[in-house]
Amino acid sequence: MKRSSTHRFWLRTEIPIFVFAALALAIAPGAVAQIEEDFHQQVSLISGGSVLVENGRGDVSIEGWEKAEMQVDAHKIFEGDSADRDRWMRETKIHVEGDEHHRSVRVEYPNDLLHSWGGWNGRRAVNLTIHLPRQVNAELKTDRGHVIVQRIAGRLDIGSDRCDVDVSRLDGELRVHADRGDVKVRDSSIRTGIRVSLDRGSAQIALQHLGGDSDLQVSRGDISLTLPKSAAFVLDAERTRRSSFRTDFAVLARGSFGGNSIRGDVNGGGPTLRLRADRGGVWLHAAEQAQ
């Protein structure tokens, strides 16, 4: 592609550009090869808008910036039998749709080639890197990749399967529903609650501020939650023969710590913080300084 064509793309929005590169091309028929292809598109998106991102195979990286636009960079990877290569690259498409108030980014894959992904026949995926206005509500639906989100102010809703999730510098609300993956949250302030539901995964969360009723629960995993020492909330936790609970906070019991229930005020009480672990442990830390 000529240099001048690339230059024109950055001046005109909503026009996708593709860059194709062949790496380690197969010499013999049926040999395993890896090829890659890049996709770029830039569109308008107002501050305070919303976005939906769906990617069934590959990484998703989201970062807020100060521009009233969204930039989508996609990196296609095909590693496998050269007989499927051209069709897979051609039929794997990145759709960017919507208007300046709401955008969607969806990766479409050829369904009949899904069976060989992740096996001995090679890796096939699309990795997405998206920059968008910092003030945004984002919903992510991902599978078999790594999710990274940073510098977002708004509501973040993540549904993932076989993905590790890493969130940093979030200011707003967080919802995570995940299966077979760990969740890490750091340097973040929760204004209107955090809800995390994990199966076969652990959560490591360090917050500078916690506001709003919150609910964290894991199955076959652990929760480590760190809050400022001055955080005020009502604690609702349990410990059973298949789970444990520990905390650095002083808890003023409401009634008594009868049976497996632990419920009481911390620093005078406030929104409810519900913590549950099945076949795992919960550790609620009190930080001397904001994390």
With b for 16 or more beta-carbon neighbours within 10 A and e for fewer, the 16-48 pattern comes to beeeeeeeeebeeeeeebbbbbebbbbbbbeee
Q: For the segment 174-224, what is each residue's pLDDT rounded down to a tens digit?
A: 999 999 999 999 999 999 999 999 999 999 999 999 999 999 999 999 999
**Pairing mode of beta strands 214-219, 272-278:** parallel
Widest CA span in the chain: 75
pLDDT at 261: 87
- Output the six-digit token pair for 232: 């005020």
Using an 8 Å Cβ cutoff, are 101 and 13 in contact?
A: no
pLDDT at 6 over 70: no
- Alpha-helical regions (H) of the chain: 3-11, 82-91
Give the burial class of 231: count Cβ atoms within 10 A of its Cβ; 0-12 exposed, 13-18 middle, 19 or more buried: buried
DSSP codes, 64-125: EESSSEEEEEEEEEEEEEHHHHHHHHHH-EEEEEE-SSEEEEEEE--GGGGGGTTSTT--EE
119 band by pLDDT with thresholds 50, 70 and 90 = very low
User: How much is the pTM?
Assistant: 0.86
- Give Cα separations from 172 to 166, 192, 210, 268 (angstroms): 16, 6, 10, 23
CA distance 257 to 94: 54
Q: What percent of the chain has pLDDT over 90?
A: 71
Q: Tell me: pLDDT of 116 over 60.
A: no
3-state secondary structure of 201: coil
> Rounded CA gap, 250 and 244, in Å?
17
pLDDT score of 9:
34
Q: What is the pLDDT of residues 89-100, one digit of tens each?
A: 999 999 999 999
Q: Which residues contact 88 (CB under 8 A, 6 or more apart)?
A: 78, 80, 110, 113, 124
Residue range 52-73, pLDDT digits in tens: 999 999 999 999 999 999 999 9
